Amino acid sequence: MSNRIEDLVDRMPLEEQVMLLSGEDFWSLPAIERLDIPKLRVTDGPNGARGGGSLVGGVTAAAFPVGIAIGATWDPALAQQIGGALAEEVHSKGAHVSLAPTVNIHRSVTNGRNFECYSEDPELTAALAVGYVRGLQEGGVSATIKHFAGNESEIERTTMNSEVDERSLREIYLRPFEAAVKEAGTWGIMSSYNKLNGTYTAENEWLLTTVLRQEWGYDGVVMSDWFGSRSTAPTVNAGLDLEMPGPTRDRGDKLVAAVEAGEVDAAMVRERALNVLRLMERTGALDDRTEWTERAEDKAEHRALIRKAGAAGAVLLKNEGTLPLAAPKRVAVIGPNAKVAQIMGGGSAQLNPHYRISPWDGLVERFGAKALTFAQGCQNHRWEPLIEDGLSVDFFDNESLSGEPVHSETMGPSVAFWLEGVAAGKVDAKHFSARITARFTAEEAGTYSFGLHAAAYARMLIDGEEAIDVWDSWTKGRTFFEEGCDEITATRDLAAGQTVEIVVEMRTKPADNLHLTGWRFGVSRRLGDADIAAAAEAAKDADVALVFVGRSGEWDTEGSDLDGIALPGRQDELVSAVAAANPSTVVVLQTGGPVEMPWLDEVPAVLQAWYPGQECGNAIADVLTGDVEPGGRLPQTFPARWSDNPTHSQDPEVYPGLDGKVRYEEGVFIGHRHYEQQGTTPLFPFGFGLGYSTVAVEGLTVSASGDGVEATVSLRNTGERDGSTVVQLYVGERDAPLPRPARELKAFRKVVLAAGESEELTIPLAPRAFAWFDVDAGKWRITGGTYKLYAGLSSADLHCEAAVELSAATLDK
């Protein structure tokens, strides 16, 4: 700790120390001009740096692959490269802190935020988190690893009580946070919204002080998730340094009064303020007196890294010789995700990208437009597509659209996410109304669906006739972070070239948990049987049919879990129809997690491409053509059906939760551990992925090394081209004194081998790799006895085994 920040904090009266403990606005802390302390600024992450704008629009930024795509790389060094690039992005937005990475575990297959997290496995998640945090902080930007802890679902996430036994917390859910603190030295941590075992995490002393600071030795800042602090003395005393966003709701004068009343010790406030000053010193914010600006820096090296990472995370799930593509002359490009670049998930991770390369764009660049034919076939949107431009908005400084507008502006597309500064500050952001006008022209005759949802009271008029009412009949749904209603639709038959006027009127409503106002509306022609038939016809005469299906950030989004893992809409029918028309059909999936594949036996090749960032189409084309190896391996098990997943239960308290409580009944048997325990064969196992070459694991030897173990794995590329794979090392305890998974991932390495090349890879295992957490003793314990080690290429492909004898031990850490 420097003398500088000690001196600064001791020169501050209580009121100034308190100023540092809450935001001034949505994205910054107040400057303390008397002491020449500038602002500290934060920006959302983790797949980019949005800056201080709204969740839509704003200064453009580089869009990197989402968390699960980075998870699929199994490459901590690449995660570190990405973190370093994102540090540059954060600097370009005038910020010092990135609200990233997200390291919650994939407990269920339907969590809306799985796309943002790395994996179902704590060791894979921990290793990637360490790399990412190191990259960010080497660039002078603080990580804010989140959400600490027990936020594995988006259902009632701001109030839900997550009941998790301590052993499961220690071995599974806290593991990435522990690694980020002890190995990467993270400077920031964000508490989650939910309760953990009955206490909100923002005021959970056991979590924030006993575990985090006393046991792990953390000396950074703990900040609340936005509006996630609900009290004054309890949060300060528990270990929450910073309430976000501002202006303060629970601190300021309330905290000063709490100190004067003896509810909070003044020394505690000093400690919290010192933590914030330490963060400012570490990030350079204490000396950053430059005028705040946000820049759009579209760097060539970032483009290249995003493209590389997109391919490195692409998982080849099936290939019967169709891939890589061998210069086809006629390519049918089919599906709802073919001409739309699905580059990111939804929620606070979304940003305004510099550009979007769709799969169609990438294939045109590779094969030329003349070689390609397109058919959409069906739709997969959750909400009706936006009207992109030409909207006009009139704002009223009341909630009844009365009088003359106080402000008018044009905008586009037809979505708004208003937090502060609405209508150039001419209305109270919590009490106003607006009238939005747009025009839509039908390109062809058909039945058109109009949709509206809002975190506001709203209604839609089409050519002056009310079509949708959520003004008088608004009901809470799963949009706008659970502050909005679900989409309501209405249909109209339109002739080709017919133009209609759409008017949406809205007024603010009281906030439930998060203080925001938003609306979204759109329109599309409904597709049907004829469109699927047209797609099959387009595929019939092609050398290869590429079908781009999946989901989007409308489905994979913060604030809303999925209802299941079947592909939305009629996409399964589309795949089957195309496969029947052309035996050389390749399915390219873009989702934030597993999907059911009833058509799997009908197609020769399947590639999972996730949401790979702004270079989406180029990265996919690189893999399809074989210019780049499909480098990904599954970071999450793909079950054959939704009901096979670890949280499926007849008891809704297990999932999705009941009466405000969700019970983690499965304990440590999560992810691949669950499928093995239950004897359930998944569709694709954890760690699985194919390459264009074949790498064999041919041997495993184990020896003691100091107080740990060294495992040596023999590898050989048996294919005809250079290839990569991920060697995975699992540990099992033969006679454990308590239920333990038969095999747990404890180490892995990504390797690249030339055709015919062999390698012996030595992987060290620390004592912790063999330990379980003894709740009664509060220590990690090695039982002692025989331990089996397994090496292979997935959780279901572990044909090399070795045993080692270890003595009983109690570990200090």
Show which residues are catalytic.
225
DSSP-assigned beta bridge partners for residue 333: 374, 546
Q: Look at residues 628, 645, 553, 536 and name the one whose alpha carbon lies nearest to residue 107.
A: 645
Q: Name the residue among 501, 419, 303, 463 with its Cα closest to residue 25.
A: 419
> Could you tell me which residues are beta bridge partners of residue 386?
522
Output DSSP code: residue 155.
T
Kindly report the number of other CB atoms within 10 A of residue 541's CB atom. 12
State the pairing for strand pair 372-375/331-334: parallel
Q: Report CA-CA distances (Å) from 227 to 104, 191, 242, 422.
A: 19, 11, 11, 19
The dihedral formed by the CA atoms of 50, 52, 57 and 58, expressed in degrees to the nearest 10: -100
Residue with tokens 């079950």: 639
Assess contact for 69 and 313: CB atoms under 8 A: yes
For residues 248 and 266, what is the distance between their CA atoms, to the nearest angstrom? 19
Which residues sit opposite 450 in a β-bridge? 490, 523
Strand, helix or coil for residue 92: helix
Q: State the alpha helices, DSSP H only, in 261-325.
A: 266-283, 300-312
| 3-state helix/strand/coil string of 195-260 | EECCEEHHHCHHHHHHHHHHHCCCCCEEECCCCCCCCCHHHHHHCCCEECCCCCCCCCHHHHHHHH
Q: What angle do CA 549, 551, 552 make, to 5 degrees?
A: 125
Query: 471: which 2 tokens?
Result: 């003004």
Q: Which residue has the tokens 């795949």?
A: 575
Task: Please answer whether residues 158 and 513 qualify as being in contact, where contact means their C-beta atoms are separated by less than 8 angstroms.
Answer: yes
Q: Give the chain's count of helices (H) and strands (E).
A: 17, 35
Judge contact between 788 and 803, C-beta under 8 A: yes
Query: What is the maximum span of the chain, computed from C-alpha positions, in angstroms?
Result: 82
